[in-house]
Structure 1
């Protein structure tokens, strides 16, 4: 009996250790994914800000409440039968001009309208309204019903863009292209937030309370501060 009991105990211990190892490995992979996403987001915002086709972007950032950066939005048929991708939300302090974050988000839809023949796009969504930002903090947000979005292009900030909750800038295969995001759902990636900061953290913890930090985000923060001056 004791031998059988010992064997059961050893087996249970081995299973527990294996589960712990798997959990730690998954958390390490999530952290690496999050860090890679932060780097790609910085490169995306730098590239779009340098592109003459997106000339209004820097001025929009200077007036922004926040910005969502999606380094890669994949077209329907490539992204699990739909369209979407992962990105970061950065919030701007209007008093200091400094940026906080990132908090991690997904955008998904069956109908994100990329330019015909394009498989993916880099996307920057400038948040202009406090209402939209608070909705992002609280729960899922559906563009077109919970918040309005306008396509960022020359002159849009003087017309529809000023009234929209979001102004969207999208680069498809190196050229400015129209994108329809109505029906797209923005949602928090809690798992990546926890992995990146080493503990559970909500968007409010990250972007409002500033109760968690990661030095890895410094380059993205300083890039946005420089671009929004």
Structure 2
């Protein structure tokens, strides 16, 4: 299967990339995320961030946030931007895939507000422990030991914890409205399960993989899953082309110029 990533300025592309991030976390060759971390979190943020070039340029990116409900189900995804988003010339620079486990519902509510939230300012995302059995060293009884936001990254073939101190996250209400087919929709509505996600857009795959993570499972993609991933990538690219004429929060940038 091609390693090419789709346009990630649309929800279709961001959902594809979120599934891609989870594939990395579920790979049996990686240490994985502690199952208790996913089981007890109140939300998960799945991002694609770049320091320069590739699809994005500068320290920018995009992604989704998904709330974890009391009944252990997952909400539909809400669109986020990191700093700002854009597409430009492919320069082959580093892309980081990031998973952030949000351990408090109040922080999920903060992240669903349509204002900028600074990681390291309003929120603190610290190094997350790795290893599917690592929860034995944590306290998941609501003590301050897990009262925070924990970040993991996949970069240059290495999966592990990172500390995020400068990222600025913001909800993308217009992209949410486009994807959910409504004139207006708030991130709060999405994360509180008041509307359903469009069918067969990869959201069901996200929920399935998050459930696997919460059980400490690993996943090796079957040929059918690989083919589906390829089809979803093509769908995301098509959505990106169609959305460019209506997107107002996306800027075109020259990656080489940004690097210089």
- TM-score relative to the length of structure 2: 0.64
Shift of 1:101: 1.3
Shift of 1:62: 0.7
Aligned equivalent of 1:50? 27
Counterpart secondary structure, 2:10: helix
Aligned equivalent of 1:221? 207
Larger radius of gyration: 1
Task: Say what the alpha-carbon RMSD is for the aligned residues.
Answer: 3.1
Aligned residues: 191
Shift of 1:120: 1.6
Structure 2 unaligned blocks of 5 or more: 1-6, 85-92, 216-260
Aligned equivalent of 2:250? none
Q: Distance in 1 between matches of 2:74 and 2:63?
A: 16
Counterparts in 2 of 1:82 and 1:40: CA distance versus 1, 3 Å: closer
Residue by residue over 1:62-94, the C-alpha shift from the partner in whole angstroms, topping out at 9 and shown as x without a partner, is 111000001x21015668763021001111112
> Structure 1 residues 196-205 or 179-188, which shifts more?
179-188
Counterparts in 2 of 1:175 and 1:210: CA distance versus 1, 3 Å: same
Aligned mate of 1:65, from 25, 33, 42: 42
Given that residues 74 and 119 in structure 1 are in contact (C-alpha distance below 8 angstroms), is that contact kept between their aligned partners in structure 2? yes
Within 5 Å, which residues of 2 pair with 1:8-157?
33-51=10-28, 53-70=30-47, 72-76=48-52, 82-94=58-70, 96-108=71-83, 119-138=94-113, 139-154=115-130
Shift of 1:97: 1.0
Asked which structure has the greater RCO (Cα within 8 Å, sep 6+), the reply is: 2
Structure holding more strand per residue: 1
- TM-score relative to the length of structure 1: 0.71
Structure 1 unaligned blocks of 5 or more: 1-29, 110-117
